[in-house]
Amino acid sequence: MNCECDKGKDMTSEEVVEAGGLTMGHGTMPGLPSWALGSALALVVVLTVLSVGRGRRWFSGESSGLRFELTSIKPLKWLVSRRYFQFMMQVPLVIMLFVILYAGFEGTPVADKNISTVLVWSIWWTLLILDIVLLGRMWCLVCPWDALASWIRRLSFWRRREEEPLALNLKWPRWLKNVYPATFFFVGLTWLELGWGVTMSPHATAILGLCMVMLAVVPALIFERKSFCRYGCLIGRICGLYSMVAPVEVRSRDLDVCKSCRTKDCLNGNDKGYPCPTGQSLTTMRANTYCTVCTECVKSCPNDNVAINVRPWASDLYGLRKPRRDEAMLALVMLSLTSFHGLTMTPIWTQLINASRDTLGLSFLPTFSLGMVAILLVPGGLYLLFSSLSNRFTRTAKDSSLWRVASGYAYPLVAIALMYHLAHNAGHFLVEAGVVVPVISDPLGSGANIFGTAGFSPAPFLSQEGIWLMQLGLVLLGHWWALRATEWAHRALAKVRSVEVLPLRSRLVTAAFLLMVSAFNLWLLAQPMEMRTAM
């Protein structure tokens, strides 16, 4: 992965944008071979058809209640109960943040020679998705932006303070009590990454890091608790929806104990722990979406009734009680933009952008922006069309709300988006992540060789055949989880509309949309991909 840019030249953002196809490295990763694509498509079709006919039998009964309580391990419970536990976890990430900022401002402008861009775009952004799949919301536990915000707000690293003298504790605006702000920021980050070319500029990456610090600190000083984490943080909200698939949860050990508790210390806090930063109560919390795993409830619960559990994957998607329109919108945006990121790395996208520029007479950035808007609107429009058909086939005099259908069926898409996201990122990571080894020895690109690895030539961590098999497995697993979650959505809608079973044609419509999405993602994986950065 040697960058062809002049090492002495600091490319401006405008030059990066006009380059259009500029990549962190150079070269192309081959896509899935025809036999693999054909086999995967056949499996997706078979699973989808069988789920329509046999889904009620396959997915009968309640979601598995199988759990293993991690906090039953005494040393782990002791550690998590310490007030300094989160501080201890956050400090390494805060140090890394400062290294990234310093390298971004003071190091080489060449992206694959600067530790800031390599760590952020090639390492962290991939491992974040893997972290969600394996550990759920653990990023929020160690988040360096939140660490700085909390330390400044509380004027304390870990000691529980009754007063927070710098905090105004204003109410978060009622009209912003949704995840639309986070959705807006996520769309904006994607535009900066793929359109403006921020991933190609260590300086721009450092500025973006500072912006994230400000977005965390300023609201923390103005609003009560951690309102920005709850409503506005794009990383937190992406992690929140994705973590519905995760195998780790924080829950009440005995719900009856929570219901009988009068003080609700998990929500309100006490002298041992802060109030829940996102306003969650273990009495009513049934999903990972808004839990940041800060472990304050573990410390504050007077009944020792908080458990950190390992559970089956995708548990939150099964039996979802209250679908929300704003979360459904974010799920659709996440689905669209994860696929969009893959599309922008294909030769087809480059050809499409170049042809559009010639036709419209526009520069790269406006043309890219129009293409991005189209990518957001087309999947959303198709989803509303399929939802409208499903609603038409199932509506009753008691309930005929299109938004009830559209919101309920959006959550299964989270599983498809997450596993394609991981498949795409992992493919790049396994090929490109080795570049971090020489960069560790020369973090600023100044010619240093601190650990003797500056001349290391990275090789892929896995063979191409192994990468293909892994990607196929991830996409198929995501499709399976989505089919199962859709069966739960069928049951929820049937209950609302007072029917025993939804009509077959309604089930066919929703299955067809899932099939279309997974088939498109498989087709994307079959395209040659530019080796750029991992999303």
Task: Please tell me the predicted confidence (pLDDT) of residue 56.
Answer: 67
Q: Is 421 part of any domain?
A: yes
User: Would the pLDDT of 187 be above 50?
Assistant: yes
Torsion region of 136: left, alpha or beta (phi above 0 gives left; psi -120 to 50 gives alpha): left
Task: Please tell me the predicted confidence (pLDDT) of residue 303.
Answer: 96
Q: Is 410 part of any domain?
A: yes
Q: What angle do CA 288, 292, 295 make, to 5 degrees?
A: 110
Q: Is 502 part of any domain?
A: yes
Of 209, 178, 374, 441, nearest to 290 (Cα)? Answer: 178
Q: What is the mean pLDDT of residues 201-210?
A: 96
Q: Place 1 in a pLDDT band, splitting at 50, 70 and 90.
A: very low
Task: Please tell me the predicted confidence (pLDDT) of residue 58.
Answer: 65
- Of 22-36, 43-57, 274-288, 316-330, minimum mean pLDDT range: 22-36
Q: What is the mean pLDDT of residues 169-190?
A: 96
Q: Is 467 part of any domain?
A: yes
| Model pLDDT for residues 36-90, shown as the tens digit of each residue | 999 999 999 999 999 887 766 666 555 667 899 999 999 999 999 999 999 999 9
Q: Is 470 part of any domain?
A: yes
Domain that holds residue 488: 323-526
Q: Place 149 in a pLDDT band, splitting at 50, 70 and 90.
A: very high
Helical H segments across 155-274, by residue range:
180-190, 202-222, 227, 234-242, 255-260, 265-268
| Model pLDDT for residues 228-262, shown as the tens digit of each residue | 999 999 999 999 999 999 999 999 999 999 999 99
Q: What is the mean pLDDT of residues 494-516?
A: 89
* Mean model confidence pLDDT for the chain: 90
Task: Please tell me the predicted confidence (pLDDT) of residue 63.
Answer: 60
298 burial via Cβ count (<10 Å: 0-12, 13-18, 19+): buried
Q: Taking each helix axis from N to C terminus, what angle separates 85-106 and 74-81, rounded to the nearest 10 degrees?
A: 70
Task: Please tell me the predicted confidence (pLDDT) of residue 130.
Answer: 94
Higher-pLDDT residue of 448 and 535 is 448
User: Would the pLDDT of 25 be above 60?
Assistant: no
Task: Please tell me the predicted confidence (pLDDT) of residue 21.
Answer: 39
Task: Quote the CA–CA distance of 233 and 265 in Å, as a whole number.
Answer: 25
Report yes or no: 394 and 497 within 8 Å, Cβ to Cβ.
Answer: yes
Task: Please tell me the predicted confidence (pLDDT) of residue 163.
Answer: 86
| Model pLDDT for residues 193-204, shown as the tens digit of each residue | 999 989 999 999
Q: Is 299 part of any domain?
A: no
Task: Tell me how far CA of residue 313 lies from CA of 134, 135, 228, 336, 482, in angstroms.
Answer: 9, 11, 28, 23, 12
- Of 46-60, 90-104, 431-445, minimum mean pLDDT range: 46-60
Indicate the number of domains in the chain. 1
Task: Please tell me the predicted confidence (pLDDT) of residue 475.
Answer: 98
Task: Please tell me the predicted confidence (pLDDT) of residue 59.
Answer: 66
Task: Please tell me the predicted confidence (pLDDT) of residue 457.
Answer: 78
Q: What is the mean pLDDT of residues 198-217?
A: 96
Q: What is the mean pLDDT of residues 402-428?
A: 95
Q: Is 46 part of any domain?
A: no
User: Would the pLDDT of 498 be above 90?
Assistant: no
Residues 6+ apart with CB under 8 A from 21: 350, 530
**Strand residue runs (E) in 254-360:** 306-310
Above pLDDT 90, what percent of the chain? 76
Q: Is 535 part of any domain?
A: no
